[in-house]
Amino acid sequence: MISETLPSSIEEAPEEPQEPPSIKRTEWVRKNIFKVSKRKWNDWHWQLSHCITNLGNANNEIQLPSSVTPYYYSHFCNNKNNPIALTVIPSNKELDIMPDEKSDPLDEEKYSPVEGIIHKYPDRVLFLITNMCSVFCRYCCRSRCVGRKKDLTEKQIEEAINYIRVNKVIRDVLLSGGDCLTMETKQLESIIKRIRAIKHVEIIRIGTKVPVVLPQRITKELVNMLKKYAPLYININFIHPQEITKETEKACALLVENGIPLGSQTVLLKDVNDNVETMKKLMTGLVKIRVRPYYLYSMDKIAGGNHFAVPIRIGKSIIQSLQWAITGFAVPKFVIDSPIGKIPADPDYITELDDGLLLNNHHGGTTIY
């Protein structure tokens, strides 16, 4: 069950400051808006069953699917100008669809030999095992599926696993959706166990935003299950420093300390994180909680997503500044995801000369190599 209306006292909530919400702030929201016990608030099933689905619909301005967990809602409350709020509250701007935007901007359906499998790269496949997400991100490249399509049947899941089984070139399986960590532990293990039994599959990965939007889900039961199927890696979608809270840090620590390596994937979004200072805080904050920055994505050309688009030159400039300002392993790789794969969008540091190379740094310094 997903709640259709906000609590009646929601307009009385103060605006959230532009910083990670404190435990005190979250407690205030729990007690005064949702009015539930700590036990319920920390129960991931309660969080999922009380997702708020009427964000942006109060004045009947727009009717688009929306969902956000009470925990994640406590980050911004009624402050619609909060950077995180911009990523989950539906906007009329989504109705403006540009000529180059598509519901399937990466042409994933073109690379789907069986339901649930995307086989674009030679040695790896994307396995979309659920269309359920606890939070509907407005920039999601799979918004055509999330919350709109039915989940795979058991027969379809077995057909997808069999595709992996018979294609011996596949050594890497990425589980995503939707968000597969919203599934019950036994249901998720049923799939992971069958994949791990395939001899040529060397690596299993999970793509998720759950530690950010539903950290209560990262339980000892879940982690004890996941660590049985090593090597297993998890990449987490982080978009703003506000998301690095005590709860998220605790969830990441539980995973890391049980041998599960963590990486991050971030989408560059206008008015959310499109500046050096925000990105610096995010990337150094991730390293501090033992999450390795991995990809910074240029915004996909999803239908109605143009208001989030950031020019490639700005993304390159941010990366160039980070390369100088923070430790190297905290700098993500800037890429454009496209129908033909991920394309690096690296800053231009090198110019070829007849007798060597001209090297450039962020401050305009040059040297001959």
User: For residue 197, which amino acid is it?
Assistant: A
Q: How far is CA 308 from CA 135, 162, 243, 271, 334, in A?
A: 18, 39, 19, 8, 16
- Can you read off the two tokens belonging to residue 192? 């992971």
Each residue of 126-142: pLDDT tens digit?
Answer: 999 999 999 999 998 88
In the prediction, which pLDDT does 145 show? 77
Each residue of 228-262: pLDDT tens digit?
Answer: 999 999 999 999 999 999 999 999 999 999 999 99
| DSSP letter assigned to residue 234 | E
In the prediction, which pLDDT does 54 show? 83
**Calpha distance 149→129 (Å, rounded):** 12
Q: Is 329 helix (H, G, I), strand (E, B) or coil?
A: helix
Residue 246's closest CA among 84, 74, 69, 52?
74
Q: Which residues of the chain have pLDDT under 70?
A: 1-22, 56-63, 147
Q: How far is CA 276 from CA 13, 127, 226, 318, 325, in A?
A: 31, 34, 35, 5, 10
In the prediction, which pLDDT does 25 show? 81
Report cis status (omega within 30 of 0) of the bond before 20: no
CATH number of the domain at 108-344, please?
Answer: 3.20.20.70
- Dihedral of the CA atoms 41, 44, 49, 54 (nearest 10)? 70
CA-CA-CA-CA torsion sign (126, 128, 134, 136): positive
In the prediction, which pLDDT does 79 show? 86
- Give Cβ neighbours of residue 27 (< 8 Å, ≥ 6 apart): none
Say how many CA atoms lie within 13 Å of 121 toward its Cβ: 15
CA-CA-CA-CA torsion sign (293, 67, 104, 126): positive
In the prediction, which pLDDT does 64 show? 78
In the prediction, which pLDDT does 4 show? 44
In the prediction, which pLDDT does 9 show? 37
- Can you read off the two tokens belonging to residue 237? 């979608």
- Give Cβ neighbours of residue 48 (< 8 Å, ≥ 6 apart): 69, 134, 182, 214
Residue 133's closest CA among 87, 169, 95, 92?
87
User: For residue 94, which amino acid is it?
Assistant: E
In the prediction, which pLDDT does 23 show? 73
**Calpha distance 251→257 (Å, rounded):** 10
- Can you read off the two tokens belonging to residue 356? 């060597």
Q: Is 207 helix (H, G, I), strand (E, B) or coil?
A: strand
Going from N- to C-terminal start, the domains of the chain cover: 10-95, 108-344
**Calpha distance 76→188 (Å, rounded):** 31
Query: Across the strands, what pairs with 205?
Result: 174, 233
**Calpha distance 69→110 (Å, rounded):** 33
